[in-house]
Amino acid sequence: MIDTGVGSTEPARSGGGGLAATGAETQRVVLFDEDDPLVLDSGELLAPVEVAYETYGTLDDDASNAVFVCHALTGDAHAAGEGGWWNTLVGPGKPVDTDHFFVVCPNLLGGCRGTTGPSSVDPRTGRPYGLRFPQFTVRDLVRVHRALAASLGVERLAAAVGGSLGGMQVLQWALDHPEALERAVVIAAPARLSAQNIAFSAVARASILQDEHFHGGDYYDREERPEVGLAVARMLAHITYVSETSLERKFGRRRHGDAFEVERYLHHQGRSFLRRFDANSYLYLTRVMESFDAFADGPPGRLAARFLLVSFDTDWRFPTRAVREVADVLAAVGADVRFREIASPHGHDSFLLPVRVYHETVRAFLGA
Amino acid sequence: MIDTGVGSTEPARSGGGGLAATGAETQRVVLFDEDDPLVLDSGELLAPVEVAYETYGTLDDDASNAVFVCHALTGDAHAAGEGGWWNTLVGPGKPVDTDHFFVVCPNLLGGCRGTTGPSSVDPRTGRPYGLRFPQFTVRDLVRVHRALAASLGVERLAAAVGGSLGGMQVLQWALDHPEALERAVVIAAPARLSAQNIAFSAVARASILQDEHFHGGDYYDREERPEVGLAVARMLAHITYVSETSLERKFGRRRHGDAFEVERYLHHQGRSFLRRFDANSYLYLTRVMESFDAFADGPPGRLAARFLLVSFDTDWRFPTRAVREVADVLAAVGADVRFREIASPHGHDSFLLPVRVYHETVRAFLGA
């Protein structure tokens, strides 16, 4: 993803050691507690589960205009408004039109921007979970989203919209609860990660796990954090988010003193990321992406939701063929599916950028 | 490159801290000394320069059958014979036929397998150079090759052959000394690195430089070496050496216990590499590749050498379009150039593998 930063001020560290969610509009709600814990895919129980989220627009009287925005690996609840990571797509008069829709964007389970995750305090020990946080899946992310929707009085969504890991959540939601969604917008997301996708994540994780300051994930009360490992992980991931062409156009072989500009740029990307992300959350959420396998149990049954699937022609992380495969499987079981490959030079990051045809496609689909 | 390992035994650490070159047949020669130092592209002087090399076959009476094999980023002098990294291509009756040619393969300047490099002792201090080793270029690699050829009584090569960084050396040699080569075989090598190529190297270097055991490059007399950083660098580089398709076919999403097999495989690649490579050499030689820009001074003059350029259709590190550009520039100045794109599923690593059409192409070119 592109490094948008979040808000205009540096986020403060929270007491639990995570990075605090920013934005005066960010709300928090406890959705699961000791009496009613979250039952994970693995069978493990988790409580409490607090979720940070933002909403934009107004829920209508029959609660029929709610749209969930599902964020990607390193996103947060601040999707729209100044500094919002999807502010080009979500807002008044924008393709996800908050004059019309009531938009909800939660920070993901396992994240570090206000929702319960590895940096949260484990009530059993009084210390941050670290690597004792349970493993979870995209299905579990959707479980928490559904609980949040229910808490807001929403039974059925007008739409769920997401790119990359966000698109995986939307797809899982539509597969598991097809009656709960009117429209599903799945952008630059595959049915499952490829061996190459996993390989890049494996290197990123190796970099974090082997950082001298990682201490088995228990670094929250220490002076130093595994910043070096996390920065290298981010530098690597960033390369996969942009197209070869866009890197070439932006930097080519230009130098700044002895160093190539592309090298300086990547180091900057790595450093900026440290201010807003937690290494343990990075480990957990990359694993969540890898465990995702939408059609592992065979083709889905009858699906009521209407689907829009979008790919970008220069996205080499989750290329057109991977997104088209999702469309083909859905179409084969009779689902109402539109698939669009969008021309954009920006690679995987295109889903975060105001690419005109892409935005028009989303607008038309949500307005149809 | 593929992790072939070298020889059948673990290489011992040399006194200077570098990894020793293996093989009873490896020879060493001091080519530059205090009285006749190597004058680098930068103007700096380097002495002594000792080179480890192997030879195969017999030099004929008029010294007209010598072929230089130039190795890639992490190769060494042991090209042919048991465990040789190019044993499929070089040997009796093979495409680079040692029944016919006298083949010379030196370890590169700046390497760690017997030739002077950052792990060698700096005579001014009595300690390994580390990062005090001077910067050098592909042109400097060729300078040392030429000195070795002269020491063997060879004035003009029948051919120079190399893949990846090896191909860059061959190209530089043919551009700078076109009369000194009869044939130039440039395999899977571009005229210059792309921004994406540099970006991947930048992450690899960041991983090494930020290893807690790197100590500014002065780790040779310490208990620990920057093995973690070097292993992560190798894991990352390895992904770029293989095609997405070959990773998918080999591993897909198969698991071994909880872990994906591709992740275990990459960790194994990283660990194996530590036994045969030095972190400082990795830093220097990646920089050498990046500084290479074959046509930076404009198109070359008249070139006497005959060229074969080879690319592989699934090589995404140095793709066909990058190799074809070299062929086009050479052809535009009237050089005798053959360009072949070879179909192979193995990505950049194909140059090390016995791909039939590729081997036939090299054999035919050298026999013509």
pLDDT < 50 stretches in chain A: 1-24
* Phi and psi torsions of A163, nearest 5°: -120, 150
CB contact under 8 A, B235 and A202: yes
CB contact under 8 A, A266 and B199: yes
Which residues, in sequence order, are CB contacts of B49 under 8 Å at separation 6+?
B30, B31, B32, B37, B38, B109, B115, B116, B144, B147
Query: Looking at residue B2, what is its pLDDT?
Result: 32
Question: Is B348 touching A (CB cutoff 8 A)?
Answer: no
CB contact under 8 A, B202 and A252: no
Query: Looking at residue B302, what is its pLDDT?
Result: 86
pLDDT digits (tens, 9 = 90+) for A131-161: 999 999 999 999 999 999 999 999 999 999 9
Higher pLDDT, B251 or B302: B251
Say whether the peptide bond before residue B48 is cis (omega within 30 degrees of 0): yes
Query: Looking at residue B22, what is its pLDDT?
Result: 40
Res B183 pLDDT > 80 = yes
Question: Is B333 touching A (CB cutoff 8 A)?
Answer: no
Distance (Å) of CA A182 to CA A64, A336, B170: 10, 11, 61
Chain-centroid distance, C-alpha A351: 12
Q: What's the CA gap between A355 and A357, in Å, rounded?
A: 6
Which regions of A33-155 does DSSP assign to beta strands (E)? Answer: 38-39, 45-46, 49-56, 66-70, 90-91, 96-97, 102-106, 121-122, 127-128
Distance (Å) of CA A158 to CA A77, A367, B256, B306: 19, 10, 41, 67
Res B338 pLDDT > 50 = yes
DSSP bridge pairs for B121:
B128
Residue keyed to tokens 């010598």: B66
Res B102 pLDDT > 70 = yes
pLDDT digits (tens, 9 = 90+) for B348-362: 999 999 999 999 999
Give the pair of three-digit tokens for residue A59. 């829920």
Question: Is B267 touching A (CB cutoff 8 A)?
Answer: yes
Query: Looking at residue B187, what is its pLDDT?
Result: 98
Query: Looking at residue A220, what is its pLDDT?
Result: 97
Interface test with B, best of A135, A232, A239, A255 (most B CBs within 10 A): A232
Chain-wide mean pLDDT for chain B? 93
Average pLDDT over residues B203-214: 95
Average pLDDT over residues B174-186: 96
CATH 3.40.50.1820 range(s) for chain B read 27-192+295-367
Q: How confident is the model at residue B346 (pLDDT cuts 50, 70, 90)?
A: very high
Question: What CATH number does the domain located at A196-289 have?
Answer: 1.10.1740.110
CB contact under 8 A, B267 and A210: no
Query: Looking at residue A1, what is its pLDDT?
Result: 30
pLDDT digits (tens, 9 = 90+) for B133-169: 999 999 999 999 999 999 999 999 999 999 999 999 9
Q: How confident is the model at residue B179 (pLDDT cuts 50, 70, 90)?
A: very high
Res B21 pLDDT > 80 = no
Query: Looking at residue A336, what is its pLDDT?
Result: 97
* Phi and psi torsions of A123, nearest 5°: -65, -20
CB contact under 8 A, B198 and A262: yes
Query: Looking at residue B25, what is its pLDDT?
Result: 85
In the residue annotation, A348 being an active-site residue is answered as: yes
Res B15 pLDDT > 60 = no
Q: What's the CA gap between B351 and B342, in Å, rounded?
A: 10
| A185 three-class SS | strand
In the residue annotation, A315 being an active-site residue is answered as: yes
Q: What's the CA gap between B170 and B123, in Å, rounded?
A: 31
Query: Looking at residue B148, what is its pLDDT?
Result: 98
CATH 1.10.1740.110 range(s) for chain B read 196-289
DSSP bridge pairs for A162:
A70, A186
Q: What is the pTM of this model?
A: 0.92
Q: Spell A33-72 as b/e; 16+ CB within 10 A means b.
A: eeeeebebeeeeebbbbbbbbbbbbebeeebebbbbbbbb
Q: Which CATH class is domain A27-193+293-367?
A: alpha beta
Query: Looking at residue B257, what is its pLDDT?
Result: 87
Architecture of the structural domain at B27-192+295-367: 3-Layer(aba) Sandwich (3.40)
Q: From A236, A252, A232, select the one nearest A244 (Cα to Cα).
A: A252
Query: Looking at residue A314, what is its pLDDT?
Result: 98
Average pLDDT over residues B252-275: 94
Higher pLDDT, A9 or B200: B200
Question: Is B206 touching A (CB cutoff 8 A)?
Answer: yes
